[in-house]
Amino acid sequence: MNIQDEEIEARLSAIVDSADDAIISNKFDGTITSWNNGAENIFRFSASEAINNHISIIVPQEFYEEQERIISQVRNGERIKHYETVRKTKDGNKIDISLIASPLRDSNTNVTGMSIIARDISVQKLLNEKQAVLSAIVNSSDDAIISKTLDGMIISWNPAAEKMFGFSESEAIGNNISIIIPPERLQEEQKILENIRKGLKTDHFRTVRIAKNKRKIKISLTVSPIKDQEGNIIGASKIARDISDQKLAEEKQATLAAIVSSSDDAIISKTLFGIITSWNQAANKMFGYTEAEVIGKHISIIIPPDRMDEETMIIENIRCGKKIKHFETVRIAKDGRKLNISLTVSPIRDKAGKIIGASKIARDITEKMQIEKQRLLYTEKLKQLNKYKDEFMAMASHELKTPLTIIKANLDIMDLKMQQDENLVFVQNTLKQVGKLNKLINDLLDISKIQAGKLELKLADFDMTDLLKEMIHNLQPTTEIKIHLKNTNDNLPAYGDRDRIGLVIINLLGNAIKYAPDSSEIKVGAIKSHDAIIVSIEDKGIGIPQEELANIFSRFYRVSGLTSTFAGSGIGLYIASEIISRHGGKIWAVSELTKGSTFYFSIPASTQNL
């Protein structure tokens, strides 16, 4: 080798040793034959540790086949350029590299080995990924993100800026930023650019900008300097947010936070792995743990060991997007107390709709369960008392019926024999009171039958018009109020128990007479509507308050304020309602105070013509 060749070789060796890239040569059996300083810096093996060792010292096991493939290609005279792969360092760390593999030839151009130039691209790859992430963030951001030169020329314009201001990217880029600034606010832009040139950032500056359609938009503006690699300020980046939506969101968030904070229910959120991520004051009060004690802990700290399978079931449902409502279970407090709770669990989703956790609302129902238990006991006692009462009413009614019948019979005889006697009036008054007592006993008997489910109906076809005429005829002599049958067909076939329906009519007419003492007439009507006969009884009496109409058909109910003025037991309308109900019909009333009332009932129409 001559001096010139030695100089060239020395120069090449110096270049190889000073290169930042790893420059390695190896035989086709994998034996390393050269190893520069760049290789030492990247892979941490010294030259003495690497040379004569196998190339696999820097190849992860899962990349052995790839390495053999590279060797095979180079042996065939191929050159591999910029091949990105993974290698490992002496301490086992994996690094991303870009590889150039070339054949080494002897003086006869025979391929005798291979050279590898490897560049560590871990940082570059990280930067590329970071750049891709930043680009994705900019493009997907709901905020308008704009960059401009120090002269105000727009150089980037994201989709949110298009949506917010109405200018497309092609319309905006190359234009001055003043296209979105109202004339009266141009001085703001000068001030912002002065700050940018000084390296100052403008944070959350609230102002107004203008859209393509001239609509003014309230925004919050953040402006930051853009620097080149040498640190020189070359432009500005603007992030503009429509603060009308932000304020609405903030108010909503504040409202929700206040609701959660002030709620009497424990509100807890957790990840899909059961790790607690939020814990409100009510949860603190209910379970005894402070927020600091539970955040980051597993939800199992409040679940009894024998109920852990419930948590598995809950999480499975949450993962499927299912909400669990009012699940009654037991949880355990810090002091070991077991709590009866009602649990509602809902999925928590991110902006993309992906389920990322669960929100739990726990209500302590221990007291409620105790109240419910007491209510059930009370209900049972009440049922028993009602049973005793009904049995007593049935027994008393039957026992009273016999002596009352005898008394009435004797009074009837006395009435016949004392026609000319001046004391006849006392007998007649007594008979009238016996009649009232007899009606009350019959009503009590009917209630007993109703309660026992033994109120029998003798269903048959009958003419409703004939029945109304008969009831009016029976009652008219007892009152000076004229009872009119109005607008009613002579033939209205109905289907039901004629005698029981007659009792309903007598009861409603009796009430109309009683509660309309100053009225001149009572109107009675009946019509056929579809498959029903509807009867109406209208008076011009004292009327019923609207708030009490819903209760007048209840057993023993009396309209407030009438007890001292009008006698009554509160039984008649209840019995009438039960009779109509057992016919499959309806009974109702409309009324206005001082103007009167109209009572209606419906029963099935007959399918036969009488």
Q: What residues contact residue 15 under an 8 Å CB cut-off, 6+ apart?
A: none
Residues 195-227 pLDDT 10s = 999 999 988 898 999 999 999 898 999 999 988
Domains in the chain, start-ordered, CATH in brackets? Answer: 3-126 (3.30.450.20), 141-247 (3.30.450.20), 262-361 (3.30.450.20), 370-452 (1.10.287.130), 460-604 (3.30.565.10)
Count of Cβ atoms closer than 10 Å to residue 81 Cβ: 10
Mean pLDDT over each residue of the chain, to the nearest integer:
84
Per-residue confidence at 63, pLDDT binned at 50, 70, 90? very high
User: If residue 376 lies in a helix (H) or strand (E), which one and from where to where?
Assistant: helix 366-417
Q: Measured between alpha carbons, how far is residue 143 from residues 146, 164, 173, 563 in Å?
A: 10, 8, 17, 73
What does the pLDDT average to over 76-85? 92
Q: What residues contact residue 175 under an 8 Å CB cut-off, 6+ apart?
A: 153, 154
Q: What is the pLDDT of residue 95?
A: 93
> Does position 566 have pLDDT exceeding 50, yes or no?
no
60 by DSSP, 3-state: which? Answer: coil
Q: What is the pLDDT of residue 275?
A: 93
More confident: 29 or 251: 29
Whether this model's pTM surpasses 0.85 = no
Question: DSSP letters of 215-280?
Answer: -EEEEEEEEEEEE-TT--EEEEEEEEEEHHHHHHHHHHHHHHHHHHHH-SSEEEEEETT-BEEEE-
Residues 572-590 pLDDT 10s = 788 888 889 889 999 999 9
> Does position 402 have pLDDT exceeding 70, yes or no?
no
Q: Which residue in 514, 511, 469, 518 sits closest to 490, CA to CA?
A: 469
32: left (phi over 0), alpha (psi -120 to 50) or beta: beta
Pairing of strands 154-157, 202-210: unpaired
> Does position 397 have pLDDT exceeding 60, yes or no?
no
Q: Which residue in 115, 147, 107, 136 sits closest to 36, CA to CA?
A: 115
> Does position 387 have pLDDT exceeding 90, yes or no?
no
Q: Which burial class, exposed, middle or buried, applies to 448 when counting CB atoms under 10 A from its CB (0-12, 13-18, 19+)?
A: buried
Residue type, position 82, single letter: H
Q: Which residue in 604, 589, 494 sits closest to 548, CA to CA?
A: 589
Return the structure tokens found at 550. Answer: 């819903």
Return the structure tokens found at 194. Answer: 């002065």
- Give the count of alpha carbons within 13 A of 598, CB side only: 10
Q: Which residue in 254, 259, 266 sits closest to 359, CA to CA?
A: 266
Residue that is written with structure tokens 């100053």 in the block: 518
Per-residue confidence at 488, pLDDT binned at 50, 70, 90? confident
> Does position 261 have pLDDT exceeding 70, yes or no?
yes
Q: What residues contact residue 535 under an 8 Å CB cut-off, 6+ apart?
A: 464, 468, 505, 524, 525, 526, 600, 601, 602
Count of Cβ atoms closer than 10 Å to residue 430 Cβ: 15
Q: What is the pLDDT of residue 115?
A: 92
Q: What is the pLDDT of residue 92?
A: 92
Per-residue confidence at 300, pLDDT binned at 50, 70, 90? very high
Residues 513-537 pLDDT 10s = 888 877 889 999 999 988 999 999 9
Q: What is the pLDDT of residue 444?
A: 58
What does the pLDDT average to over 122-145? 80
Return the structure tokens found at 148. Answer: 């401009």
What does the pLDDT average to over 383-395? 61
Pairing of strands 80-88, 355-364: unpaired
What does the pLDDT average to over 268-291? 91
Q: What is the pLDDT of residue 563?
A: 47
Per-residue confidence at 389, pLDDT binned at 50, 70, 90? low
> Is the CB of residue 569 less than 8 Å from the CB of residue 508?
no
Q: Which burial class, exposed, middle or buried, applies to 170 when counting CB atoms under 10 A from its CB (0-12, 13-18, 19+)?
A: exposed
> Does position 134 have pLDDT exceeding 90, yes or no?
no
User: If residue 534 lies in a helix (H) or strand (E), which one and from where to where?
Assistant: strand 532-538
Q: Measured between alpha carbons, how far is residue 594 from residues 479, 543, 597 in Å?
A: 21, 5, 9
What does the pLDDT average to over 80-102? 93
Q: What is the pLDDT of residue 46?
A: 94
Q: Which residue in 485, 479, 534 sits closest to 511, CA to CA?
A: 479
